[in-house]
Amino acid sequence: MPRGPIDVIVEYSLRRWPQLVERAEEMSRLDAFKLLVLTVLSQVTTSGNTWAAFTRLEERVGVEPHRLAAARVEDVEEAIRPAGLWRGRARALIQLAREVVTRFGGDLEPLSRLPTEELRRELMSLPRVGPKTADVLLLFHYGRRVMPVDTHISRLARRLGVASGGYEDVRKAIEASAHGDLRLVHLALIAFGRAVCRARGPRCWECPVASECPSRA
């Protein structure tokens, strides 16, 4: 099976950051609602801050739909402070929990019976759930072969010439070109984008596919 640049970068990243394998397993062990909360917390912050905020929220409030829906906003704000933007996020998480309780009785597991595109639409109908957040749940919890795309992955795909369009174009291009476990592909590409193929000052001398990259600095 021919290896493209995405596969080479994934292999490089997993050698450099082997802890990504355990991180993928940690995310997959979470129930759907906990993973949803984790993903909302991860927006515009680091992985370390995301997990710190999630752990504090679980310890102080509880990451369970009924408990979070009934929580005081001040308690949620204090718990998720490490993630930043805690005031807006706290209200968003409480609203999300209330919606899950109202519409699904607090249980997102029965949605697993839905076809992938219908399941994506249901998830995206929830507040603060866009395509990337929905696809994280589809991949890590519901076991669907989809590629969540964040800013790092999108930048990497465009620089490599793998895709040039928007979210769906990048998602489909990587799904078609990447081999193996897409959970690892997702985490590996994000790590590579943060450390090597950075938005500013890309470290092209560290890139294993620099010789074939059309955007090499």
Closest CA to 163 of 145, 184, 189, 124: 189
Give, in order, the Cα–Cα distances in Å from 217 to each of 63, 125, 214.
44, 41, 9
For residue 120, pLDDT beyond 60: yes
Tell me what the mean pLDDT of segment 35-41 comes to.
Answer: 95
For residue 131, pLDDT beyond 70: yes
For residue 83, pLDDT beyond 80: yes
For residue 64, pLDDT beyond 80: yes
Protein fold of 31-140: Endonuclease III; domain 1 (1.10.340)
Tell me what the mean pLDDT of segment 92-99 comes to.
Answer: 97
| Every domain of the chain and the residues it spans | 5-23+146-212, 31-140
Give the per-residue pLDDT at 184: 98
Give the per-residue pLDDT at 2: 63
d(CA 92, CA 160): 36
Tell me what the mean pLDDT of segment 152-178 comes to.
Answer: 94
Protein fold of 5-23+146-212: Endonuclease Iii, domain 2 (1.10.1670)
Give the helix ranges, DSSP H, for the chain. Answer: 5-16, 19-29, 32-41, 47-60, 65-69, 73-79, 86-104, 116-124, 131-140, 151-160, 167-177, 182-195
Rg value, the chain, Cα: 18
d(CA 187, CA 164): 21
pLDDT band, very low/low/confident/very high, at 3 (cuts 50, 70, 90): confident
Give the per-residue pLDDT at 1: 56
Tell me what the mean pLDDT of segment 101-127 comes to.
Answer: 97
